[in-house]
Chains A and B, each alone.
Chain A
Amino acid sequence: MPDETDELDQYLRGGSDVSCEYKRESSPEPPHELDRLVLESAGSMKSRTPFKRKNLAPFALAASVLLSLALVLAMVFGPQVKKTDDKPQVVRVRIFKSEPPRATPASPRDRNPVLWLEDINALRRAGRIDEADVEMRRFRSAYPGYIVPISE
């Protein structure tokens, strides 16, 4: 066994007869056609280099920073939602005995005179004489030449 080990060690150290004989032999190289095929193959694969994950890291980081910034800006400067008042709201409801008068338009001139007179009559029938008189004065100023039919 020691001889065998020595034999192998001697060979592994280099310079053994076997190695020298082997190295003295010719050293064939691959044909040039093979060189061309392999190098062309390596070159053509270059353009198909896959997009590596580590190349995406800067984009992922930039996207995260931008998203965070957008969120912070939205929270600070975004549209404020008005906080509802906790106090109970008082709602005034007007109750009419008959049909309620129609809403008054912004300009008296825009109001239909016939409907306006009907509203005034409705106020009178409801006993709200003062309001009916005020409305009538408004009517007269808006339609000075309008002939008001005599109410019964």
Chain B
Amino acid sequence: MDFVDDDAGLMLRYRDGDAAAFAALYNHYKGPLYRYLLRHVRSACAAADLFQEVWSHLIATRARYEPRAKFATFLFHIAHNCAMDFFRRDLNLRRVMPAHDSESSLLEAEVPEHQRPDRVAEFVEQQSAVLAAVAALPQEQREAFLLREETGLNVEEIARITDVPIETAKSRLRYAVRKLKNSLRPMQEPQALRLRTYA
């Protein structure tokens, strides 16, 4: 029970029927979780759906909860899985669309509004420079950076959440930070930015 932090204690209380403990957890994590989802999936509508999905999953499985890690790790691991499912569904939809060119107009109507590429681009444009840079990061690097910023978790815990080795998580975070640093450089160095290549 070394992993029982205060929040894990609250979750244990909620598991045993204390609704007030859930309210405390929710108030503590709703902001970080929402921002993580919003900036990861880059759509307010999808983020709202996923936000509800994450909490619903936590509520539905609370009876089986055992503190094996920090509560934040547990919660954001659920969020990571929900986001991965979202991206998988999104990818499947994109694969289906070109195969049915003749019915593209029909399928276009079936693609959720928030998953349309033009909507994603619009979302990025509405952001400030730093948020636009975050949104432009590759998916894995963006997630590592958002997890670090929104939860304050260390690299080991980010690796646990994203189901990758620690070195991979470290590498993703390193590339993300470097790219963001470069994007925040003064505008007088546009040529240098354009010439740099990243892995």
Contacts and interface: CB of A to CB of B under 8 A. Distances in A.
Contact of A21 (B16, B30, B178, B184): B184
A27 interface: yes
Interface in B103-147: 128-131, 134
A38 B52 contact: yes
Contacts of B34: 28-30, 34
Interface residues of A, number: 32
B17 A29 contact: no
A22 B130 contact: yes
Interface residues on B, range: 35 or more
Interface SS, A side: helix
Contacts of A23: 149
B51 interface: yes
Contacts, number: 88
B60 interface: yes
A30 B19 contact: no
A40 B149 CA distance: 29
Interface of A: 4, 7-8, 11-12, 16-19, 21-25, 27-31, 34-35, 37-39, 41-43, 45-46, 49-50, 52
Interface of B: 14, 16-17, 19, 22-23, 26, 30-31, 34-35, 38, 48, 51-52, 55-56, 59-60, 62-63, 128-131, 134, 148-149, 154-155, 170, 173-174, 177-178, 180-181, 184
